[in-house]
Structure 1
Amino acid sequence: MEDDYKKWLTQFRKGYIELCTLMALKTNGNMHGIALIHFFENMDLQVNEGTLYPLLNRMEQNGWLESSWNMPKTSGHPKREYKISTKGELILPKLVETYNLHHKSIEKIKEIKL
């Protein structure tokens, strides 16, 4: 049973973190991966680099995000910054609507007294 739960949780988190990533970039503009991780931590959502970076790559391949390298003016390493793409802007309201509908359904089901 624990394996089944872990598989379900992995799939659930992928979709949920994709939605949160689009919302974060829509709200905050360009962000690099570590900034997204810190943003999520401030929202009490724990996301590690091993989860986030493959997800960002997949979202970029799907056309939901665009990225570019930000070269520091003084010292430090270049950082890849992500921004929501036009396609990401178009799909975000649908994702939010779908999330809200499912959340409402779950809340209704929880209220049923069997």
Structure 2
Amino acid sequence: MEPFKPKRPKTGGRKKGTPNKLTEQIRELAMNLGPEAVASIAALMRSSTNPAIILASARELLDRGFGKPGQYQIVEMVPLHEGWPRKSPEEMKAELTASLGVDGYAALRRKLHADVDGVGEPADRRER
């Protein structure tokens, strides 16, 4: 399907990079009311007896003052030491077959591949 191509070139409207005047005015009004809004949130936090309101207002103040916290993932890195050589697929298969048996290895392989693509064999190994 071909991408949409307009019949005529665009005319009118703001030029690229020109700020929207209404957005600028709203931003200016909001900035003028900012200190009052922060004071209102702080007053809510101090005067409320509802824990949900206290928590929500405290979170808003912290987000505004320090920025929203980022989402981090802790990843544990396990280095490959000289004593831990990598095994070839054949060596891994032999080790798993020895510990699980032929039927156990085959069942594990089917289960793992079914979890990967929901079919039973990885997509790149299926016969075509």
TM-score above 0.5: no
Shorter-chain TM range is under 0.3
Higher relative contact order (CA 8 A, sep 6+): 1
- Higher-Rg member (1/2): 2
Flag the structure with higher strand content: 1
Normalised TM-score (structure 1): 0.28
Q: TM-score, normalised by structure 2?
A: 0.25
Structure having the higher helix fraction is 1
